[in-house]
Chain A
Amino acid sequence: MKKHIFLALLLCLGLGACEEYLDVNEDPNRNATTTPDNLLPAILANLNYNLYEASDLTSYIVQYLTTSSGATTRDRWTFHKQLRFGLWRRHYFDVGSNVHHLIESANHEEANNYLGVAKVVGVLSTGMTTDFFGDMPYTEAFTGNVSPAYDPQEVIYQGILKELDEAVAHLEQSGPNDFPMTEEADFVYSGDVNKWKNFAYALKARYLLHLSKRENHYAEILELTDKALRGTADWVDPELVYEENTTDNWLKNPFGPSRARPSWAETANYLHLSVPTEFFINAMIHNGYIDPRLPLIMTPSEDGKYRYGIPTNGIAPLKLEDFPSLYDGYYTKDHSPIPYMLESEVWFIEAEAAFQSGKTDRAFQAYENGIRVHMKKLGVDEAAIGEYLQQDFIAVDANELTLSHIMMQKYIAGYLSPETWVDLRRHDYSEEVYPGLELPEFIDDDLEGKWIRRFPYDPQTEYIYNLPEIERLGAQAPNFTTTRVWWDK
């Protein structure tokens, strides 16, 4: 060591010819790049976290849940008053930038399988994010530009639909010479490109349906759901299954009772201080008949009751123990899976598209299939499913079927899914479609008594580091979250 210093001294005394001595700025701690198989796992797992945080916030908006005090940000929709809004970075940094990196790496390896998968998961994250925020950087994102322009949502939608077509093309071109995609790299489908293709079709159907207020894509949606559900490969729910019996907080489902929060940047779930809402329980219990799925997603109180709370009102004078426990349900164990998309959703997409284009038979079939596959997924037996389908709040045939039947079943099957918020907005929180849904009483004054229609951009970054775009979009207005995103107009 000291020898080095002497050496440097001698070398550098002259004209500063000490290049070699100073050439020590390559990071010895971190790689500069790697192969695609080392990039995909983190993308899938980060996507999952993105979905979790999205669920954690939207579940209170769509009235699956409410908190015991009724006064938190989740209840009063004071997102615009928060210090940070993590969902923004969940997409851009945690998922998006890595997808961008994976595409570069996969292009380098000419790996069509990775290119296809990267685009599918990238679109899921981008689509979900634009549904929350509306306009946002897309064409200039990930380019190193530190003040990227926000693209109109229309442009983003055109982009993600195109990316899905490209994804399908890549997956179709995928061959045995591709860079290997093992179970270790792809713990969703173990490298099965056909399953990814199904998922790509379904996603495209989902995003086309989001445009229902503006554009009629029902015919294409039905083609796509057909390909996804009745294609060459069987549909398998894309989901990330968490580890059982681990104490590693990184490997626990964040919705579980451990309330795993492995680092400061994560948010612990709030289920310990939450209860189901009146609207949700009323959707699950009809005149004393309890939906067989209800005991599978929550545990009744000790006296066997499924009491509910009214959003923003708080539960006083009752105590939390008077309410069902939300933990250890199908989605709320430490090792529960978090689905990227459920088969039932695809069936309900088909049901809605068919219904809206007058194909009521197909709509009814899809509606019933949606209910069935969801019940099966949660472990309801055939007999109970049969009994459920005979209930009077269930449409028994195509003639009886209403949009509300479809959307309410999609709502139930979408318990904790962030996709539900899109549906509610698409149908304008309509009481006709969602009977009994009411605007909570004590939402923040800034919202001027209106339903929330979007999330604010991340106050910790966008309002400071990309202010001109925020100003251009008028996103500083306190009631910005009541304004509609493009597809909602």
Chain B
Amino acid sequence: MRIKHFLLLLLITGLTSGGIYAQERVISGVILDEMDQGPLVGANIVLKGTTIGTITDAEGKYSLKVPGNIASEVLVVSYIGYKKKEVPIDNRTQINVSLSMDVQELGEVVVTSFGIEQEKKSINYAVQELESKELVEGRQENLVNALQGKIAGVQITSASGAPGASSEILIRGATSLSGNNQPLFVVDGIPIDNSAVEGGGNRAMDINPNDIESLTVLKGPAAAALYGLDAANGAIIITTKKGAAGRVKVDVSSSLSIDKAMRFPEQQGMYSRGTQGLSDLESRYSWGPMFRRDEKVYDNLGDFFRTGVSHKEDISISGGSEKATFYLSASNFDQKGIIPETDYNRTSILLKGSAQLSEKLQVGASANYIMTKNKRGLSGDSGGWLLNLMSWPRDDNMSVYENPDGTKRWLIPSLGTNQSDNPLWTAHNNPVDDNVDRILANAFISYDPFDWMNITYRIGRDRYSQYYSRLVSPNTGGTPDGAMRELERQRQITTSTFNISMDKKIGENFRVSLLMGNNVQEDKGRSLTTSGSGFINPSLFSINNMETVRAEQYKSLRRVVGVYGDLKIDYKGMAYINFTGRNDWSSTLPKNNNSFFYPSVSAGVIFSEFIGGDKYFFSFGKLRASYAEVGADTGPYKLSPVLDRSYRKGGKFKNYHTAGNPNLKPETTISKEIGAELKFFHGRLGVDFSLYDTESRDMIITTRITPASGYIIQTFNSGTIVNKGVELMLTGQPLKGDFNWTIDANISRNTSELKELPSFVSEFPQTYAQLTGTGRGSSLIGEPVLGVVGAAYKRTEEGRMVIGEDGYPVIDDEKQFIADRTPDWIIGLTNTVEYKNFTLSMLWDFRIGGDVWNVTKNRLVSYGLSKETERRNTGIVFDGVVEVEEGVYEENTKEVVLTESFYRYNYGAVDENFIEDGSWARLRFLSLGYRLPQNLVSRWGMSDFSINITGRNLLLFTPYSGSDPETSSVGASIGGSGTAGLDYGNVPSTRGLTIGFKASF
């Protein structure tokens, strides 16, 4: 489509005549919407047949210098979604133009699979697109976080407030128990890696949000079917900015942010260190005597965190002629985290260009180089290191982590290295470095043999190398000699796509388009891990200085070949039907099972076209339905058993923990969706509604098995998950004109159910979510996928708690399903108000329901530091019943004391006590922008200048007692149902303020 526009422009402006004018002229004016006479911002004005052009400013104004030697006498004015107009100049210097909306392109154009731009009204499934402005207004540097609250049906969980922390996305629920549930990310037609390793960030955060022109979320298999097996969880299609024909445009922007830890779990400050009410300085527990009035109670939590400061600078230069365009941007983002010694830096350079070699031939290429450097306070693979901070006894000043002589100060000196470290010491001495060098490159050639046919070949590569190092300095608790681990990793995804598309009117009423293509993808990885233990010389932190060094190499290769077709039939722009089919061959599956086909069909009717009446009130109505299947393969080398190195004495080989499975076959996700899109008041009120039902069958799940089989883990094809949901998107423009007010609301609900597991599996626990001895993030048959299974109190059939003869509640022997971590409703509400040069926008983000398992509090309770343990040593009669004989209960009347051992071995041993409602209402951001008056900025040689102040996470209302109910103990590093809703000593989320400016020249 884009190419066609370009060609059209070329044709229109292609013939230049050679008259000579001696005098330079300046033409200026305003471009307005014909309907409401509002200014059109960013409309294109080009002198016909030349490369001379400009765009309108924020007030719709333009000013075009016409050199004396240019003969053209016609202005071509265009704006997306509007009919193009050619206006003769007729010696005028003031030309105002009104454009009318193009009925053919009433709705927006959205980018879909393979970067194909489609009219939104012709698409028969839910799709949402975000523009550049919407992505940057919340000032989120992790692209994924920028989607928060903006897309219906998407649950985003930012792991923590640490710099470089990952964020996970679930689109319409989890479809896989053990595999990846993250959507496919595609940048300019090339799939990129969004994985997270070693507790690091999700790699899509390498993309500079400022470089993005538009982002489309393809929510389900129907939308993503053409992308094949990686798109079972939907796809996020990113189109980066490009240059436009016309004068060179330079944008410069800069911003400065401060961040603070938002909330902490509540600690008690009444009781000091010890056990059983007695002081014991050899203990870490706070079950000691009451603090004396002369004793200081330290705020170790508050003292630990600092104010994070970050700044970002962006510059972009773009422009071009009809023959060629370019876009060049450079950006630097530098963040100092709220934890001492942690930071994150991202530098990105993007160069993109395209050239029209002939009327029929276009080529283009882009390269994006990104360098990130992330220094994290030690965060292991399973979160939780702040538990040590949160449970630090408050009689001790944790901020003193060294003795006056510079040696390490231990909390309990007699234990030496047999104790946990002061987190501040860890932050200073045991850094984790995670640096990535990445290049995203792609090139395409596009040929139009006929005006109804296009052939495009695109090849691209996402390649990055990562350096990860983790230092465990000598004298670290548990590792007195020190240790070090370095990981050098490379990943390279190469994608080749060959598409032939045809688009032709057949007769009066039909338009048929057909796309056929081939896709070859190669995903290659290699890593080298070097680990050493024991520093010979305690001051040099190099592998060369280690007693024992061990290296391990890993290479992986996966190849997928796909062919596909996409047929669309459009009846008078009123009814659409669309068939797609794709066949994939994957190298990771057994040869007899590696080919799989999946179809989709979708249809839509614009019924408003068939009914008459007032188009002003009811402007547009469409009903749509779709059915799609999509397959998924597995990772490489899962088919047969292999041997692993043994590091114990004698070395050599032992069995590898994972058994092979030579019978694997593709898993299938089937999705059905119906929806409606309605517009009222000439589009000022829009409603988009979808219902969906997704079923994943023959899930490829990697599960623990009994070691009696001879292995620990095996991959199977078994199990079914069903997700059902509803999505509602509302857009409204209550006020239009000088005072402009728009509202966008996204409301969604997803429910999931695990229908089936392999016969021998009674429960599917998440490996990294086993956070207490009894409890774990887990999935059970017949229950929602994001569950928690753990210890609960014994209850009668009526639900009364059973109290033992000793007066304390009785713990049930059987573990129970105690929490559903899926929110009932996710609501995002964006309000934007524009008045004159001011813009105010805010995003309220609501989550209703959804449990959070507060393991942090559990830990604080056992350590005697949780606020609620202040009630210790007081009496209580537990509300419940006592079993007097089998099945006969009496009301409990026994008064007992809330003792340390009750808190530690009864209350603290029951996971159910730490399940909390994770609902929230959150003012995710509030942003105020001011655009300086045009006459002022033009005096400074600028075309535009705006300043902006944004507050993030300004308000949070939640019944949750911990730091933030939006939390994930591991983040995006793991697959499956993940660890969202598991609070396990994570870095608190932050509240912050950003001020920034943007100037255009």
- Residues in chain A within 8 A of chain B (CB atoms): 1-2, 4-6, 8-9, 12-13, 16, 18-19, 21-34, 37-46, 48-49, 81-83, 88-89, 91-94, 96-98, 100-101, 136-137, 140-148, 184-185, 187, 240, 242-243, 246-251, 258-259, 261-262, 268, 272-273, 316, 319-321, 458, 460-467, 476-478
Residue B610 lies at the interface, judged by CB distance under 8 Å to chain A: no
B761→A464 contact, CB < 8 A? yes
Interface string of B790-834 (1 = CB under 8 A from A): 000000000000000000000001100000000000000000000
A320→B414 contact, CB < 8 A? yes
Residue B639 lies at the interface, judged by CB distance under 8 Å to chain A: yes
Residue B583 lies at the interface, judged by CB distance under 8 Å to chain A: yes
Contacting A42 at CB < 8 Å: which of B418, B557, B653, B814?
Answer: B653
Residues of A within 8 A of B776 (CB): 83
Interface string of B636-657 (1 = CB under 8 A from A): 1101111110111111111111
A101→B759 contact, CB < 8 A? no
A45→B649 contact, CB < 8 A? yes
B459→A5 contact, CB < 8 A? yes
A13→B709 contact, CB < 8 A? no
Contacting A30 at CB < 8 Å: which of B643, B710, B770?
Answer: B643
Contacting B652 at CB < 8 Å: which of A4, A39, A97, A462?
Answer: A39
A262→B647 contact, CB < 8 A? yes
Residues of A within 8 A of B494 (CB): 1-2, 5
B654→A466 contact, CB < 8 A? no
Taking CB atoms and an 8 Å cut-off, the chain B residues in 492-527 that contact chain A are 494, 496, 498, 518, 520, 522
Contacting B709 at CB < 8 Å: which of A144, A247, A248?
Answer: A144
- Separation in Å of the B650 CB from the closest CB of chain A? 3
Residue B307 lies at the interface, judged by CB distance under 8 Å to chain A: no
Find the A residue at minimum CB distance from B767.
Answer: A460
B653→A31 contact, CB < 8 A? yes
Residues of B within 8 A of A23 (CB): 587, 591
A-B contact pairs, 27 of them (CB 8 A): A5-B459, A12-B561, A12-B585, A18-B561, A25-B588, A29-B555, A30-B656, A41-B649, A42-B648, A46-B648, A49-B648, A81-B773, A83-B772, A83-B773, A91-B707, A97-B710, A146-B714, A242-B649, A248-B533, A249-B533, A250-B649, A259-B418, A272-B418, A319-B282, A319-B414, A464-B761, A466-B760
Q: A22-B561, A93-B655, A248-B548 are in contact. Are A9 and B585 (CB under 8 A)?
A: no
Residues of A within 8 A of B654 (CB): 39, 42-43, 46, 94, 98
Residue B704 lies at the interface, judged by CB distance under 8 Å to chain A: yes
**Complex Cα spacing A101 to B654, Å:** 9
| 7 smallest beta-carbon distances between A and B, as pairs | A41-B650, A247-B534, A45-B648, A247-B547, A42-B646, A97-B710, A92-B707
- Residues in chain B within 8 A of chain A (CB atoms): 280, 282, 414-415, 418, 459, 478, 480-481, 494, 496, 498, 518, 520, 522, 533-534, 546-548, 553-555, 557-559, 561, 563, 583, 585-588, 591, 594-595, 636-637, 639-644, 646-657, 659, 703-712, 714, 758-763, 765, 770, 772-774, 776, 813-814, 909
Q: A2-B459, A247-B548 are in contact. Are A45 and B706 (CB under 8 A)?
A: no
**Complex Cα spacing A227 to B934, Å:** 105
B710→A13 contact, CB < 8 A? no
Contacting B761 at CB < 8 Å: which of A40, A82, A316, A465?
Answer: A465
Find the A residue at minimum CB distance from B649.
Answer: A45
Contacting B644 at CB < 8 Å: which of A6, A30, A136?
Answer: A30
Residues of B within 8 A of A478 (CB): 813
B520→A92 contact, CB < 8 A? no
B652→A41 contact, CB < 8 A? yes
Find the B residue at minimum CB distance from A140.
Answer: B708
Contacting A147 at CB < 8 Å: which of B480, B586, B759?
Answer: B759
Residues of B within 8 A of A5 (CB): 459, 494, 496, 520, 522
Residues of B within 8 A of A42 (CB): 646, 648, 650-654
Known: A42-B651, A98-B655. 14 other contacts (CB 8 A): A5-B496, A8-B496, A30-B637, A31-B643, A41-B649, A42-B652, A93-B711, A144-B659, A144-B709, A146-B706, A251-B648, A259-B418, A461-B704, A466-B708
Contacting A476 at CB < 8 Å: which of B586, B714, B814?
Answer: B814
Residues of B within 8 A of A272 (CB): 415, 418
Residues of B within 8 A of A144 (CB): 659, 709-710
**Complex Cα spacing A39 to B561, Å:** 39
Q: A13-B518, A93-B710, A96-B710 are in contact. Are A29 and B554 (CB under 8 A)?
A: yes
**Complex Cα spacing A29 to B653, Å:** 13
Contacting B555 at CB < 8 Å: which of A28, A273, A320, A464?
Answer: A28
Contacting B650 at CB < 8 Å: which of A89, A184, A467?
Answer: A184
Residues of A within 8 A of B653 (CB): 31, 34, 38-39, 42
B459→A100 contact, CB < 8 A? no
**Complex Cα spacing A41 to B534, Å:** 25
Q: A41-B651, A137-B706 are in contact. Are A33 and B587 (CB under 8 A)?
A: no
B710→A100 contact, CB < 8 A? yes
**Complex Cα spacing A28 to B282, Å:** 52
- Separation in Å of the B794 CB from the closest CB of chain A? 12
Contacting B706 at CB < 8 Å: which of A49, A243, A247, A466?
Answer: A466
Residues of B within 8 A of A320 (CB): 414
Residues of A within 8 A of B553 (CB): 29
Q: A24-B587, A82-B773, A478-B813 are in contact. Are A465 and B705 (CB under 8 A)?
A: yes
Contacting A16 at CB < 8 Å: which of B533, B585, B591?
Answer: B585
B760→A465 contact, CB < 8 A? yes
Find the B residue at minimum CB distance from A7.
Answer: B520
Residues of A within 8 A of B647 (CB): 250, 262
Residues of A within 8 A of B282 (CB): 319
**Complex Cα spacing A307 to B711, Å:** 45
Residues of A within 8 A of B478 (CB): 259, 261, 268
Q: A12-B561, A41-B650, A250-B647 are in contact. Are A147 and B642 (CB under 8 A)?
A: no
